[in-house]
Amino acid sequence: MGWQKAKRDLSPTPLVLLLFRFLAGFTGDCDAFVGLLIADCCSVTVETCLWDSASRVMLVGWGGNNGSTLTAGVIANREGISWATKDKVQQANYYGSLTQASTIRVGSYNGEEIYAPFKSLLPMVNPDDLVFGGWDISNMNLADAMTRAKVLDIDLQKQLRPYMESMVPLPGIYDPDFIAANQESRANNVIKGTKKEQIEKIIRTSVQGKEQSGQGSGVVDCNTERYSNVCVGLNDTMENLMASVNKNEAEISPSTLYAIACVMEGVPFINGSPQNTFVPGLIDLAIKNNCLIGGDDFKSGQTKMKSVLVDFLIQGDLQEQCGDDMVSSNAILYEPGEHPDHVVVIKYVPYVADSKRAMDEYTSEIFLGGKSTIVLHNTCEDSLLAAPIILDLVLLAELSTRIQLKTEGEEKFHSFHPVATILSYLTKAPLVPPGTPVVNALAKQRAMLENIMRACVGLAPENNMILEYK
């Protein structure tokens, strides 16, 4: 129960290492602009290991709109399903996925730019080979959950139903204090016991799934909760967090319990919702166990548009009203300590279901005190935006666990920092290691990710100078 079986032969393959060396440039600290900074360089060697077995994805809230849509989408692509819409015969695709539907510039030849598929640069897991499982407080099978979500066309649902009827989520952690009251009627599939016992149960089911269906690629939390209180002595350190679990403290959230179980087992955990799953004690635990964690909140739709538009307005020398890291980058427009006005209101309208309406207004100050206002309206099925992002998070998290590097003078290879900033392009509130600046500008996030991929195959970082044509 609770597992999608792999269709292809996914027997282990021999491990192979891709080994490359590149020069990394960096600048030292400076207190003020001094006219010229000399970049230091060091040699960095990167190795990437091939995956060796089937890759498993577990979703917290598997039976929700996002979980059922993602599972359906991967099956539709794997089986090559097509279906009739009112406009045309539609073929399954991975549109909206950074890893599956975008390209990276790798150079030029005879004056022509050369691009390669993003997924081709490094040995990435084929999404068609993913094996799905997960937990949910409802025991509704994935076929019925897909119907309830009302996201996919009926013709597609009919073709997918035979593949999804046997998929039933494992029991999930239910705490009515943390989730919406309307979920109570669905809660017929719950893990009972203390918080410590719930963690132990999650670990057992995760281990059983690993034995049945392959190695773990990671766990993604698709459930939305209220924020947890962060308190000294409760969850501020690893020791206090684990002591609070043992004491069955009420303020330890379900998503934090799932994350603790994953970190203890060395399974990457990604928070796709806005709550503060990664309390300080949990971050400490992940760093100690060297287990990848990433988040927070899937960046889809208008949030992605906002990170582009705010960057455009501020870098275009117009004083816009929102975006912290972008604001701090321009001391000409904003005085020290000055912050823009920023208001977000979210309402759920049952009639429109998964079809999200986003209405955004951006007002900026222009030349000689004038005002410019940009208004945007977007309508889209939220789960069709989120599903490819979940897929990318899983694939990139899995890939990053196979990348190791060492700089000149280091004897041993080491992995990236457990707090995965490499995933920030895909999240609204990027989780970063303590003391690390948060970058929200979309272009910078994309450039960071692409340049890491390039470095892993020995290509220089892209800087867009194209100096040979100047």
pTM metric for this prediction:
0.86
pLDDT of residue 41: 56
If you average pLDDT over residues 195-204, what whole number do you get? 96
Whether the predicted pLDDT of 420 surpasses 80 = yes
CB atoms within 10 A of CB 331: 10
pLDDT of residue 83: 97
pLDDT of residue 4: 54
Segment (H or E) for 91: strand 89-91
pLDDT of residue 470: 74
Whether the predicted pLDDT of 91 surpasses 90 = yes
In whole angstroms, what is the distance from residue 173 CA to residue 192 CA?
8
Mean of pLDDT over the chain: 85
In whole angstroms, what is the distance from residue 259 CA to residue 269 CA?
6
What is the sign of the dihedral through the CA atoms of 462, 467, 468 and 470?
positive
Check residues 111 and 60 and name the one with the higher pLDDT.
60
pLDDT of residue 334: 66
If you average pLDDT over residues 424-431, what whole number do you get? 92
Whether the predicted pLDDT of 318 surpasses 70 = no
Whether the predicted pLDDT of 300 surpasses 70 = yes
Left, alpha or beta for 425 (phi > 0: left; psi -120 to 50: alpha)?
Answer: alpha
426: CB partners within 8 A, 6+ apart: 98, 298, 299, 389, 392, 393, 396
In whole angstroms, what is the distance from residue 171 CA to residue 405 CA?
39
* Lowest-pLDDT range of 22-36, 46-60, 362-376: 22-36
Chain-centre distance for alpha carbon 177: 26
For 207, the token pair is 């281990």
Instruction: Please answer whether residues 107 and 114 qualify as being in contact, where contact means their C-beta atoms are separated by less than 8 angstroms.
Output: yes
CATH of domain 55-298+383-456: 3.40.50.720
In whole angstroms, what is the distance from residue 256 CA to residue 249 CA?
12
CB atoms within 10 A of CB 310: 25
Residues paired with residue 371 on neighbouring β-strands, in sequence order: 365
Which band of pLDDT confidence, cut at 50, 70 and 90, is reported for residue 248?
Answer: very high
**What are the tens digits of pLDDT across the range 265-291?**
999 999 999 999 999 999 999 999 999
Residues paired with residue 375 on neighbouring β-strands, in sequence order: 361
Nearest alpha carbon to residue 237 among 289, 293, 295, 285:
285
Specify the domain boundaries for CATH 3.30.360.10 within the chain. Answer: 302-381
pLDDT of residue 301: 73
Check residues 271 and 360 and name the one with the higher pLDDT.
271
Left, alpha or beta for 379 (phi > 0: left; psi -120 to 50: alpha)?
Answer: beta
Whether the predicted pLDDT of 6 surpasses 60 = no
* Lowest-pLDDT range of 238-247, 288-297, 358-367, 378-387: 358-367
Check residues 332 and 265 and name the one with the higher pLDDT.
265
pLDDT of residue 14: 38
pLDDT of residue 18: 57
* Lowest-pLDDT range of 103-112, 141-150, 213-222: 213-222
Check residues 49 and 260 and name the one with the higher pLDDT.
260
Tokens 């073709």 sit on residue = 159
Which band of pLDDT confidence, cut at 50, 70 and 90, is reported for residue 39?
Answer: very low
Whether the predicted pLDDT of 32 surpasses 80 = no
pLDDT of residue 360: 84
In whole angstroms, what is the distance from residue 138 CA to residue 168 CA?
9
If you average pLDDT over residues 378-396, what whole number do you get? 93
In whole angstroms, what is the distance from residue 452 CA to residue 465 CA?
18
**Across the chain, which distance is largest between two alpha carbons, in Å?**
68
If you average pLDDT over residues 448-466, what whole number do you get? 87
In whole angstroms, what is the distance from residue 150 CA to residue 239 CA?
44
Instruction: Please answer whether residues 259 and 271 qualify as being in contact, where contact means their C-beta atoms are separated by less than 8 angstroms.
Output: yes
On whether the 302-381 domain is CATH 3.10.105.10, my answer is: no
Tokens 């934090």 sit on residue = 256
433: CB partners within 8 A, 6+ apart: 287, 417, 419, 421
pLDDT of residue 366: 85
39: CB partners within 8 A, 6+ apart: 25, 26, 27
365 phi and psi angles, rounded to 5 deg: -90, 130
In whole angstroms, what is the distance from residue 36 CA to residue 291 CA?
39
pLDDT of residue 141: 98
If you average pLDDT over residues 409-424, what whole number do you get? 91
If you average pLDDT over residues 169-195, what whole number do you get? 93
If you average pLDDT over residues 61-73, what whole number do you get? 97
* Lowest-pLDDT range of 24-28, 105-109, 232-236: 24-28
Most confident of 244-248, 358-362, 441-445: 244-248
pLDDT of residue 37: 42
What is the sign of the dihedral through the CA atoms of 296, 299, 304 and 308?
positive
DSSP per residue, 9-72: --------EEEEEEEEEE----SS--S--PPEEEEEEEEEEPP-S-EEEEEETTTSHHHHHHHH
Check residues 36 and 227 and name the one with the higher pLDDT.
227
